[in-house]
Amino acid sequence: SDHQRLSDIFVQKGPYLKMYSTYIRQFDNNVALLDEQCRKNTAFAAVVKEFEMSPRCASLALKHYLLKPVQRIPQYQLLLTDYLKNLPEDSEDYKDTQAALGIVKEVANHANDIMKQGDNFQKLMQIQYSLNGHHEIVQPGRVFLKEGTLMKLSRKVMQPRVFFLFNDALMYTTPVQSGQYKLNSVLSLAGMKVSKPSQEAYQNELNIESVERSFILSASSATERDEWLEAIAKAIDDYTKKKITFISSRSQEEAECVVDTGAPLGSKAPIWIPDLRATMCMICTCEFTLTWRRHHCRACGRVVCQACSANKYYLEYLKNQPARVCDHCFVKLQENSDRCASTSVSPIKPGAFSFTRKQKKIPAALKEVSANTENSSMSGYLNRSKGYKKQWKRLWFVIKNKVLYTYAASEDVAALESQPLLGFFLREEKNGPAQKLQFKLYHKNTLFYIFKADDIPTAQRWIEAFQEAMILEQ
């Protein structure tokens, strides 16, 4: 007949094809169940084998027929696409075919979404089962995004931690045995920030700042670091966009208070500066010793001495529990408390004991530039030897405004030395691979220092920075 049609059937019955999604989602489980029953029950396996050998099965395995419904939807899509290409536009079936193709594509997308949800659920269950103790990782709407091992920097050492990124949280765990983990914390993406340090020396690191906890992570390479940075930043952005419409409106006073101060001091856990990155108090510059120990301000994370952190203050992120704060933060917290009266709490008075230590007088010029200063020409660790002594010492160096500053560690607020570089010149060592890491600093043919970098590219960048600083600009 000239009026034969087939696409009108898809238009009428197409929406019911979504029922295939349930079958598709359970396909892997059903095949696994069939295999398991065949292994456990030899009589059942014999019946299945006999059925597969019968003429009606055309000697094909039962799994082949179980797969047919899974393949049917994409086959419909391919056939309708080909049918539409060969159908004249004036055909009575043309518009129905276009509509049918749209319906089948929608069903295929629905099946793919169901499959992804099934895979996501299985992954969440796998993670939940891998944790020691009872933890409810499976949550409505939670989607798994990424996992991997990163080094978490504690006060003194790097510790391996396995991280799991979801669309609403970042979870980190400690490996305890093969495939099992101890849950450390699940950090909400709400209010979280992720960034990379400005210093080139820490190119594998990223900073995580959240309300509950903040810390430094280190990846195995800059590429891996960037992958995590991008994934976490995107997850935070997507989470924020999704939740923005549900945020309850604040009073005008509250809104102004938050806008004025950003994230108020004490409302988020700070990133603690690692012990080994500060050899002196970041306020008074007293040098730390075995008896004059390091303390961390619980508000800003800086490393300070006991004399500069004798106060305690109630901090919001610690559920308004009292914690040690440095003198600078103590003053700021009091000021913020006065400005946003609705959130104020009384500070704890300073302790009865006063701590004093005789300070070594440091010239003002050495305090002008801190080790983590911004806008420097170059900064990072180098090994240095004085003259021809060949006794190497690892120090942090900064070149800024044509001056070389030397520090004991990367977060020190005062330099050990400062040396203007005008009038100096460099000599590079190029005899062998090890020598290429070294370069020598001279003044009027007198050798001052020999420097050694960790790798050749770093050595070359330092050489270029030195040479630029030695030239007087016209």
Domain residue ranges in the chain: 1-113, 144-244, 275-339, 364-470
| Contacts with 89 (C-beta within 8 Å, 6 or more apart), sequence order | none
Residue 101 has pLDDT above 50, yes or no: yes
Q: By CB neighbour count within 10 A (0-12 exposed, 13-18 middle, 19+ buried), where does 57 fall?
A: middle
* Ranges 150-159, 223-232, 391-400: which has the least confidence: 150-159
Superfamily of domain 275-339, CATH level 4: Zinc/RING finger domain, C3HC4 (zinc finger) (3.30.40.10)
pLDDT at 358: 56
Report percent pLDDT > 70 for the chain.
89
Query: Within 10 A of 181 (CB to CB), how many other CB atoms are there?
Result: 20
Q: Is 277 in contact with 379 (CB distance < 8 Å)?
A: no
| pLDDT beyond 70 at 225 | yes
Q: Which of 90-94, 174-178, 214-218, 442-446 has maximum average pLDDT?
A: 214-218
* C-alpha distance across the termini of the chain, in Å: 92
Pick the CATH number of 1-113 from 3.90.226.10, 1.20.900.10, 3.40.50.300, 3.40.640.10: 1.20.900.10
Q: Is the pLDDT confidence value at 111 over 80?
A: no
The CATH class given to the 364-470 domain equals: mainly beta
Amino acid identity at 229:
L
Is the pLDDT reported for residue 247 higher than 50?
Answer: no
Q: What is the per-residue pLDDT for 65? A: 86
Q: Kindly state the helix (H) or strand (E) to which residue 232 belongs, with its residue range.
A: helix 222-243
Neighbours of 16 (CB within 10 A): 9
> For residues 89 and 389, what is the distance between their CA atoms, to the nearest angstrom?
89
Residue 148 has pLDDT above 70, yes or no: yes
| Nearest one of 160, 204, 157 to 184, comparing CA atoms | 160
**What is the greatest pairwise CA distance in the chain?**
107
Q: Which stretches within 275-379 are classed as H helix?
A: 327-339
Phi and psi angles of residue 57, each rounded to the nearest 5 degrees, phi first: -90, -5
Residue 63 or residue 433, greater confidence:
63
Percent over 90 (pLDDT), the chain: 45
Which pLDDT value is given to residue 340?
A: 63
Q: How confident is the model at residue 349 (pLDDT cuts 50, 70, 90)?
A: low
Tell me the range of 66-70, 195-199, 465-469 where mean pLDDT is highest: 465-469
Task: Say what the pLDDT of residue 290 is.
Answer: 86
Mean pLDDT score, 345-372: 70
pLDDT confidence of residue 248: 43
- pLDDT score recorded for residue 182: 94
pLDDT at site 261: 40
pLDDT over 70 (residue 350): no
pTM for this predicted structure? 0.64
Place of tokens 């101890």: 182
What CATH architecture is 144-244? Roll (2.30)
The pLDDT, as a whole number, for residue 325 is 95
Same fold, 144-244 and 364-470: yes
Residues 427-464: tens digit of each pLDDT: 887 776 667 789 999 998 899 999 999 988 999 999 99
* Best mean pLDDT range from 163-177, 190-204, 335-349: 163-177
Q: What is the mean pLDDT of residues 399-420?
A: 94
Helix axes 20-40, 42-53, angle to 10 degrees: 120
Give 58's contacts (C-beta < 8 A, 6+ positions apart): none
> Token digits for 405?
């500053």
Closest to 146 measured CA to CA, from 169, 113, 128, 175: 169
User: What pLDDT, on the 0 to 100 scale, is given for residue 436?
Assistant: 78
Comparing 130-134, 229-233, 259-263, 404-408, which segment has the lowest mean pLDDT? 259-263
Take residue 25 and report the two structure tokens written for it.
């989602």
The whole-number pLDDT of residue 257 equals: 40
By the 8 A CB rule, do 191 and 262 touch?
no
**Chain mean pLDDT for the chain:** 85
What is the C-alpha separation between 262 and 214, in angstroms, rounded?
A: 17
Predicted local distance difference test score (pLDDT) of residue 356: 60
